[in-house]
Amino acid sequence: MSPRWGMVIDLDRCTGCQACVVACQAENNIPINTEAVYLQNRAIEWIRVERYWDGEYPNIKARYIPVPCMHCSNAPCEPVCPVYATYHTPEGINMQVYNRCIGTRYCAVNCHWHVRFFNFWQPKWPESLQNQLNPNVTVRSRGVMEKCTFCIQRINHAEQNARLDGNRPLRDGEVNTACAQACPTRAIVFGDLDDPESQVAQIANTTTRGYKVLAELGTDPAVLYLKKIDPEAPAHGGAESA
Amino acid sequence: MRKGAMRRRDFLKLVATSTTGAVLFTGCGIGDGDPEREFKIESPVLNPVDLVYGRDNWYATAAGECGLIVRVFEGRAKKVEGNPDFPTNLGASDARAQALVQEVYHPDRIAQPLRLTGARGSGEYQNASWDDALTELGNDVNGARGATLVITPPLSGPMGQVVNEFVRAADAQHVAYEPEDRVVLREAVRRVFGTDTLPTLDLANTNFLVSFSADFLHTWISPVQFSRQYGEFRQGREDVRGTYWHVSSRMDGSAANADRWLPITPGTEGLVALAMAQVMVSEGLVDRAVAERVYSGISLDQYAPDAVAETAGISAEQITELARRFAEGKPSVAIAGSLAAAHTNGLFNLTAVFALNYLVGSVGQAGGIILNPAPPFGSDVPGPSSGLSYTEWTGVVNDLNSGRYQLVIVNGVDPVYGLPEALGLREALANAGKVVALSSFLDDTTLQADLILPVHTTLESWGLIAPDPGPGYQAVALQQPVVNPFVDSRAAGDIFIEAATAAGASMPWPTYEDAVRAAVDSLRRLNRGNIEAADAKQYFMMAQAQGGWWDTTETADSAPNAPETATAAAQPEYAGDPGQFPLYLLPFPSNSLGYGETANLPWLQALPDPMTSAVWSTWVELNPTTADRLGVGTGDVVRLVTPRGSAEVPVYVNPAAHPDVAAVPMGQGHTDFGRYAKGRGTNPLDLVEPATESETGALAWAGTRVRVEATGRKVRLPRFEGQVPAFQLEGAPIIEVIPSEH
């Protein structure tokens, strides 16, 4: 049985340090977000950390939420692609076929989580920095969309090793995303939601704090958040404006 | 392409959007007409990985307090991860560790020795050969006996040994640079806990944590270690979720995660701690005898919450509640640092807070503050040491100006940037006969050098590091080169060995690698720790594979007695008349750039600040009411005027900013330091008056007042905010918050 990849992000552990953000950029050959890119509002972060303010000074709090692609089972970005560049893998990953993409950006318009990014420019690194690029990950060219892949190259690598090792199923923890691996508070847990022994499934199946962002849209995200606990939270139960 | 020919994309569009596609695919035999199979698309990213030719290797090494493993593919470092075995970080890492690869392949890395051709500071250099450069250095060392100054970070382990040997051979003076608040912290730890090593925490077992301005999750002494513990502190136990309060005059990235943040007047951390002690003693929550011993010479009765509330800027009720929670929520722990140390009363702030741990019996106890033992090195190998205080630096500058030093050698630090302009170190270096920099980048200090010797970066170097703070027991990280040097650089240790040999010393090791190997062999002879091996060679290989040596049984001696003499209570003093300079200028270490040492790395420049989400720049954080009063908003350029000087920076209106504070991040304002840092932003230390901490003489970098003037100009502040729509939806909040687990 093929796995169903998913993620749990515990907001009560997350401190907003953004180790995940840099780990993702290092693993996935994400172009450097220069000052000019930020000023154009075209920064690319496959996983980002959003900060929300809650309350007013002096009773004010900043709250953090890491946001990768939700890898929705019923993803609104998938059916709108005219060339089937965005599709769902049998293992539950919302995937982007870069050399199929023609850059209509319909998928980005249809994604409510804003986790799809368009390459407005050809990505450039100084020649020496290209030595760091991950050879297992395609560098996306100008004109195509890109997004979180749950580090598909790591999954492929682990699955291939498992096949060579007597065609056994993957063990829990054998594959991990770059963001989860770096996270110093262990707020991010990745794994097979269909493996009842996996850590991610055990958390997802037993937690009383689970929720999915924009769940009412019915897209069935594969990312489960665990609610932030704050004994002094305002009664409305949610952080306010960004 | 032939005119009129169908392009591949057009073809795909056609087949995907029309019934022609189905016909075409069926005609080609694809899917055999089965609509379920017809459009099953395989992504090229799912192609077999063996299309990538090459081989992965993973090597353990170390940087700072963290053990690391690095993916090396065909001789190139690709990715840094935490070493799951190394006890301080247990596999975790942070943004700065991740960015180490960019140091190796940085486009502006110095690739070979350089000799100055223009005036100092001009940046005009010509290439030199290593033979010539080392011969020149040897001659310089011999010609400057008794008149050589060596500036490095505080060194321990074999690097400390090598530099000590050089200093002896060349009859040189050795001084260490580190951020000045660290100097105050070390003195506070010595006074309160009686140790030279910094303490760690046991947050996984803590019930109540109060931090006084210590940004322990992002910038303070060992953030990865503390972050790992923090995850367990919040959610690692079945029945307990640790409670965390933060007391500070600026909401930093740690304070943002606190259950309650108490915004105090700058520099009053110690006062609040004394008021807490007063409450705990007067209400009988703690042993009065212990309190009298810890705070001997201080009459706690003077510091009742009512008496300090107005000065501290928080209510007496808040202080009382904090004290009760701290006393009753055991195991509880109190820490202080960063801004708390950077006032003229920094040592008082820190000692008053750390002493609270004795009152609740949490020193050396589970869930408390855990003291670290001395490193397992022999007596001839230096242990942890402190950097110079600002007052001591003024002595160095005076010596430089008097012409005492004919040769200055700088390695691994950038004091010209890190110390305030008021010190005049840049100008003083002009009076040294010669300046030699052992550096990978043209930072502000290196820019003053006559001779630059490029050194290996972290991932190319040998080293043996005793993390400070360690994990609560003896641990040493083995740093090994995971890739060959990318440019024609040398190990700094080798350069010192060569220079010492030129000065006539008979060095015990031909290379720095040998010094590291000898130090590892001395660990083997201890006959304890995590490594078991038949012989020295195998032992060293095991140490390389595991990333270091540690002995979980070798902890610090049982908690020392509480100190008998407390640091006298002191009020903070500020440079600048409050009438002319109404706000406090609070510089703060940046989450990604620290004190500026990583400003050359693009990933870290591009990493949003946790509070403002600003990137690639310097800004000043103002409270909305303060900004309104000044008539400015986010992006408006203001002039920050202090008694020392002025600078223009854009405003970020921060709803969590203290109304009396203008907070400015450190990290930018480098003269050079490569294309990603050069000429970017402002160094707030250039605005700081050289006020010093009253007892240690360290720079009180938060001891200056400031006036903020609107300029009428406006810029777009580069920041992550606004890149994507991010707002809470009514009834469907993005972040859901609940008051308790159930």
- Mean pLDDT of the B525-554 span: 96
Q: B486 and B105 in contact (C-beta within 8 Å)?
A: yes
pLDDT at B604 over 50: yes
Q: Are residues B587 and B686 in the same domain?
A: yes
Which residues in chain A are contacts of B243 at CB distance < 8 A? 231
In B583-642, the residues whose Cβ lies within 8 Å of chain A are 591-592, 602-604, 606-608, 610-611, 613, 615-617, 623-624
Q: Are residues B623 and B646 in the same domain?
A: yes
Domain end position, chosen among B370, B401, B427: B370
* Phi/psi at B638 (5° precision): -120, 160
- pLDDT for residue B328: 97
Q: Are residues B215 and B125 in the same domain?
A: no
- Mean pLDDT of the B131-150 span: 97
pLDDT at B520 over 60: yes
pLDDT at B703 over 70: yes
Q: Are residues B411 and B546 in the same domain?
A: yes
CA distance B333 to B24: 71
Tell me if B535 is assigned to some domain. yes
Of B655, B663, B680, whose CA–CA distance to B593 is shortest? B680
DSSP character for B685?
G
Tell me if B65 is assigned to some domain. no
On the 0-12 / 13-18 / 19+ scale of CB atoms within 10 A, B24 is: middle
Q: Are residues B623 and B708 in the same domain?
A: yes
Q: Are residues B606 and B702 in the same domain?
A: yes
pLDDT at B742 over 90: no
Give the best residue of B724, B730, B740 to mutate against chain A (max A CB count within 10 A).
B724
Segments in chain A below pLDDT 50 = 236-238, 240-242
Q: A192 and B700 in contact (C-beta within 8 Å)?
A: no
Tell me if B346 is assigned to some domain. yes
Question: pLDDT tens for residues B577-589?
Answer: 999 999 999 999 9
Q: A4 and A198 in contact (C-beta within 8 Å)?
A: no
Pairing verdict, β B620-622 and B704-714:
unpaired
- pLDDT for residue B21: 41
pLDDT at B700 over 60: yes
Contacts of A229 (CB under 8 A, 6+ apart): A12, A209, B234, B241, B737, B738, B739, B740, B741
Domain end position, chosen among B370, B401, B425: B370
Q: What percent of chain B has pLDDT over 70?
A: 92
Domains along chain A?
5-226 (3.30.70.20)
CA distance B22 to B106: 51
Of B121, B140, B117, whose CA–CA distance to B405 is shortest? B140
Question: Domain of B701: which CATH number?
Answer: 2.40.40.20
Question: pLDDT tens for residues B385-436?
Answer: 899 999 999 999 999 999 999 999 999 999 999 999 999 999 999 999 999 9
CA nearest to B616 within chain A: A35
CB-CB under 8 Å, B104 with A239: no
CB-CB under 8 Å, B721 with A242: yes
- pLDDT for residue A234: 62
Q: Are residues B318 and B221 in the same domain?
A: yes
Of B686, B689, B702, B678, whose CA–CA distance to B649 is shortest? B686
- pLDDT for residue B12: 54
Integer angstrom CA distances of residue B279 from B286, B300, B330: 9, 9, 16
Domain end position, chosen among B337, B370, B403: B370
- pLDDT for residue B384: 85
Instruction: Flag whether residue B256 sits within 8 Å of chain A, measured between CB atoms.
Output: yes
Give the predicted TM-score (pTM) of the model: 0.93
Q: Are residues B330 and B306 in the same domain?
A: yes
Tell me if B651 is assigned to some domain. yes
Measure CB to CB from residue A95 to each of B16, B43, B78 and give the nearest one. B43
Tell me if B489 is assigned to some domain. yes
CA distance B272 to B320: 10
Residues in chain B: 742
Helix (H, G, I), strand (E, B) or coil at A116: strand
- pLDDT for residue B535: 94
Tell me if B618 is assigned to some domain. yes
CB-CB under 8 Å, B736 with A211: yes
Instruction: Flag whether residue B475 sits within 8 Å of chain A, measured between CB atoms.
Output: no
Integer angstrom CA distances of residue A158 from A55, A173, B163: 45, 10, 46
Q: Are residues B311 and B421 in the same domain?
A: no
Least confident of B285-299, B315-329, B612-626, B694-708: B285-299
Tell me if B568 is assigned to some domain. no
CA distance B114 to B103: 19
Question: pLDDT tens for residues B156-211?
Answer: 999 999 999 999 999 999 999 999 999 999 999 999 999 999 999 999 999 999 99
B631 φψ region: left (φ > 0), alpha (ψ -120 to 50), beta (else)? left
CA distance B266 to B703: 9
What is the extent of the structural domain holding B158? 114-178+387-555
Tell me if B17 is assigned to some domain. yes
Q: Are residues B349 and B401 in the same domain?
A: no
In B40-99, the residues whose Cβ lies within 8 Å of chain A are 41, 43-46, 48-50, 52, 54, 73-74, 76-82, 89, 91-95, 98-99
Question: Domain of B274: which CATH number?
Answer: 3.40.228.10
Q: Model ipTM?
A: 0.96
Structurally, chain B folds into a number of domains equal to 4
CB-CB under 8 Å, A17 with B94: yes
Q: B242 and B325 in contact (C-beta within 8 Å)?
A: no
CA nearest to B90 within chain A: A184
CA dihedral of residues B88, B92, B94, B96 (deg, nearest 10): 60
CA distance B128 to B452: 9
Helix (H, G, I), strand (E, B) or coil at B649: strand
Task: Write out the two tokens for A33.
Answer: 């977000």
Question: pLDDT tens for residues B81-130?
Answer: 999 999 999 999 999 999 999 999 999 999 999 999 999 989 999 999 99
CA distance B343 to B661: 14
Q: Are residues B429 and B507 in the same domain?
A: yes
Q: A24 and A38 in contact (C-beta within 8 Å)?
A: no
Residues in chain A: 242
- pLDDT for residue B50: 45
Q: Are residues B298 and B345 in the same domain?
A: yes
